[in-house]
Chain A
Amino acid sequence: MDFSASYRDATGATSGHNYELEVTVSGHVDPETGMVIDLKDLKELMEREIEARFDHRSLSDDTPYFRDRPPTPETFAALIFSLLDAALPKGSLYRIRLSPTAHLSVEVTR
């Protein structure tokens, strides 16, 4: 999924990115559906948990989590992992990969 957000860095300067988010879930293939997870459900969950919270918003101003910690790619990726981990079936989130630019990615696993 792609979304866009802004933030203020340590110097107080405001910047922003088009973020690319890749979510990997793992689990057994349901013998009936042949799927690990219904991608429509995953997409809706990502829209609700991530896009609705962050797209076209400021991490620094609109997200309480960043009131007392700097909004770096690492802290943002850790927040996304915990939000998705709480919303997905227990233990099914394997990894998220957040890419603020084409030259930088942050991966979070359990």
Chain B
Amino acid sequence: MIRVIQRYDFSAAHVLARPEWTSERNRNVYGKCANPAGHGHNYRVEVAVEGDLDPKTGRVLPEGMIDALVESRVLRPLDGKFLNRDVPEFVQVVPTAENIARHIWDTLAREVTPARLASVRLVETRNNSVEYAGDEELV
């Protein structure tokens, strides 16, 4: 089994708060991450795909395919953005590391054929990261 893992970086701001909750409740659940002014992170994304080697090219996917996909579908929409305001997905969904990782998975999962998306790992700070490998029950 061969798995190719590629890493990318982007920076974005977010607030962890549900719009329909009171600020007190948001503060209780999300702590300082609920500050309405927002705060930012340097995110690292690790995209892992699994598949068979194309005997002619010796690659799992054509050269540059994941780079182009991640650039157009992930980095350009998210880099330098205030996620809660600038990214439609996160106007209603709280942009936690978990939800960002799942959003990236959903964005890429059907695009990496003939390989299979194996996991998306989102590193938010050096002390916390989230890894998502899909959830059949939610599909």
- A71 vs B46: C-alpha distance in the bound complex, in angstroms? 23
What does DSSP make chain B's interface, helix, strand, loop or mixed?
Answer: strand
Question: What are the interface flags for A59-87 relative to B under an 8 Å C-beta threshold, 1 for contact and 0 otherwise?
Answer: 00000000001111111011000000000
Task: Please give, as numbers and ranges, the residues of chain B lying within 8 Å of A75 by CB-CB distance.
Answer: 53, 58
Contact of B3 with A107 in the complex, beta carbons under 8 Å? yes
> Which of these binds chain B: A13-21, A23-31, A38-46, A98-106?
A98-106
Task: Say whether A104 contacts B2, CB under 8 Å.
Answer: no
Cβ of A95 to closest chain B Cβ, rounded Å: 9
A90 in contact (CB, < 8 A) = no
Given contacts A107-B2, A108-B2, A109-B1, whether A74 and B58 have CB atoms under 8 Å apart is: yes
Chain B 49-85: CB-based contact to A (< 8 A → 1; otherwise 0):
0000101011110010000000000000000000000
A25–B31 Cα distance when bound, in Å, is 42
18 CB contacts below 8 A, A to B, read A70-B58, A71-B58, A72-B57, A72-B58, A72-B59, A74-B59, A75-B58, A102-B7, A103-B6, A104-B5, A104-B7, A105-B5, A107-B3, A108-B1, A108-B2, A108-B3, A109-B1, A109-B3
A residues apposed to B, CB below 8 Å: 10, 69-75, 77-78, 102-110
- Residues in B lying within 8 Å of A, measured CB to CB: 1-8, 48, 53, 55, 57-60, 63
